[in-house]
Copies of this chain bind each other. A is one copy, B any other.
Amino acid sequence: MKIKDLEEMNRESMISCGFQATNVGRAIEIVEKMKKENATVFLTFTSNMIASGLRGIVKEMCRKKLVDVIITAGGSLDHDLIKSSKKYELGDFVMDDAKLHKSGKNRIGNILVPNECYEYLEGFMREVFTEMYETEKIIAPSEIASKIGEKTKEDSFLYWCSKNKIPVFSPGITDSAIGLQAHFFKQSKKDFAIDVTKDMGKLSQISLNADKTGGIVLGGGISKHHAIGVNLLRGGFDYAVYVTTASPWDGSLSGARTNEGISWGKIKENANHVTVDCDASIAFPIIMNEFLGE
């Protein structure tokens, strides 16, 4: 293929541009193939993305059933629950953090989370755990996500996941504000437990039963690894799109390109795959743009 000069921003012109524009264009192609082949789509993301406006795209994907499984950090559940009722503020990457602390604003890059947001979450989660505990003392992260979705407002990706039966897995859920509430809840209910092995059967069945699977992996961490790990059970993803800002040169999972996954059998040798080296807040909306417009 020849390098062509960019005249407008569309899939073909991006593919022929070179550098990461090429990879954004390829990512669009691969997502289209996932859809066309009816692949079971795994979407994973780190929690900062839900603190940002990317939450709108995730929510829309869940509403339109463009995704079949979500794996994410506990913080994503925190932010989605809070933002369905409260607002975060735009700040700056460089601010006086001691002053922010004094004024009760918590910084995530250039986004500020006011302290009162977490008060809302506390009340909400107390109810969630109380209700769940009445039925079942040992619960799974995906059950918590589902319960939040049932109880929260429409402006929430968890709401749409519950409504559309899209399971949301969060293997590291205690590492979050929700996890902290679980800890407080347990102090009065000693036999309350979050059993993380409980979700593994459900998740592995999805992987094993799927005809084809596709991964849209935003950022790294436990969510990324869990998605490729469970796809190992079936011989790997058939389609994979990674969007990352992390470097592979330190051997980190977060920076690992799709190629590395092939050595493990987490991505198939003949898979369609691409790694887009870009902040997801820029690349992900471009990639999903043509699938979200109706």
Where the two chains meet, the residues of A that have a C-beta atom closer than 8 Å to any C-beta of B are 1-9, 13, 15-22, 24, 46-48, 51-57, 59-60, 73, 75, 83, 87-90, 93-95, 97-98, 100-101, 105-111, 138, 155, 171-175, 179-180, 182-183, 186-187, 192-201, 204, 219-222, 225-226, 229, 245-256, 259-265, 269, 277-283, 285-286, 289, 293
A19→B48 contact, CB < 8 A: yes
Instruction: Among B53, B246, B264, B282, point to the contact of A245 (Cβ < 8 A).
Output: B246
Provide the main secondary structure of the chain A interface. mixed
State whether A3 touches B111 (Cβ < 8 A): yes
Which of B57, B98, B138 touches A195 (beta carbons < 8 Å)?
A: B138
Chain B nearest CB: distance from A163 CB in Å?
A: 18
Residues of chain B within 8 A (CB-CB) of A106 are 263-264
Q: Pick 16 A–B contacts, CB within 8 A, sort by A.
A: A3-B52, A5-B53, A6-B54, A6-B57, A9-B286, A18-B88, A18-B109, A20-B279, A73-B222, A101-B265, A105-B263, A106-B264, A172-B172, A193-B197, A222-B222, A282-B283
Q: Using Cβ atoms and an 8 Å threshold, which residues of chain B touch A9?
A: 285-286, 289
